[in-house]
Structure 1
Amino acid sequence: MNKTFSALAEPNRLHIVELLRDGPLTVGEIADRLELQQPQVSKHLRVLSDAELVEVQPSANKRIYNLQFQSLKELDGWLDSFRRMWEERFDRLDDYLQLMLEKEKKKQFDLED
């Protein structure tokens, strides 16, 4: 997972992953969309490939890149544990706020009597 985080920490690589989310692209298409030189994009793609975030499919004289979802699923699984933790905390906070609201209403009611 460290390779995944390391690869996605660089903004251009994150942008490449976001571009590939919509479908496969060639190196040239990625370079055009990011306004980078093709050698730069190739280096970024190599890092993403090493992190198993993208896969390449040669087609004639082009190299077409796709997202490789397994690493993203692993990342999502890791993040899910944090989502569950925060949801539980927000649920407890909601319960606490409801209790405080009920106490405040009771206090107001008692003052009116």
Structure 2
Amino acid sequence: MVKQQAAPLDRTFQALADPTRRALLARLGEADALSISDLARPFAMSLPAVMKHLDVLAEAGLVTRTKTGRTVFCQLNADPMEEAMAWLTRYQIFWTRQLDRLQAFLEEESCPPKPAPSTPIPVAASTPGPASPSGDGSTPVPPASTRRGRIRGS
């Protein structure tokens, strides 16, 4: 299998996709530097498995390693996450705008505009007249149509 070079943003997201690697980064974020054995201690996996995860993080540029004597120390390098955050921020802005538009639309639909004030009815005209010969009361006629909603795309 041929391993192709991925773009830096792709490598960052691939590295962050795994929960173990995210946990390793969280531990490194709490300390200046940790040895690989100290870093691996809380995980229920072998040291070589942790080292493979660290290799992925190092390839993405999220971890730097330094060797002092026989001990290898790892440090967090958050710089590659800055590009990932910039990429995510664009979509956060997009979705915030979309949700704001949806909220405005729903508020408009749930609170239709009030009808224009009508002219007051004179008191003399509001007095009931004689009952209709059939004895049935009249029932109001419903409106012929309702207000149209917003047309999609406007």
Q: For structure 1, which segment, 13-22 or 79-88, has the greater mean C-alpha deviation from structure 2 after superposition? A: 13-22
More RCO (CA 8 Å, sep 6+) = 1
TM-score normalised to structure 1 length: 0.81
User: CA–CA distance in 1 between the matches of 2:45 and 2:35?
Assistant: 13
1:2 counterpart (3, 10, 15): 10
TM-score normalised to structure 2 length: 0.62
Structure 1 runs (4+) greater than 3 angstroms displaced: none
Q: Which runs of 5+ in 2 are unaligned?
A: 1-8, 116-154
Corresponding residue pairs, total: 106
User: CA–CA distance in 1 between the matches of 2:107 and 2:34?
Assistant: 51
Q: Which runs of 5+ in 1 are unaligned?
A: 108-113
Pairwise CA distance, 1:95: 1.0
SS of corresponding position for 1:52 = coil
Give the 5 Å matches for 1:35-54.
35-54=44-63
Per-residue CA distance 1:15-69 (angstroms, 9 max, x = gap): 2122222223221112111122212111211111011011112233322211111
Query: Quick one: percent identity of the two aligned structures?
Result: 28
User: CA–CA distance in 1 between the matches of 2:29 and 2:91?
Assistant: 24
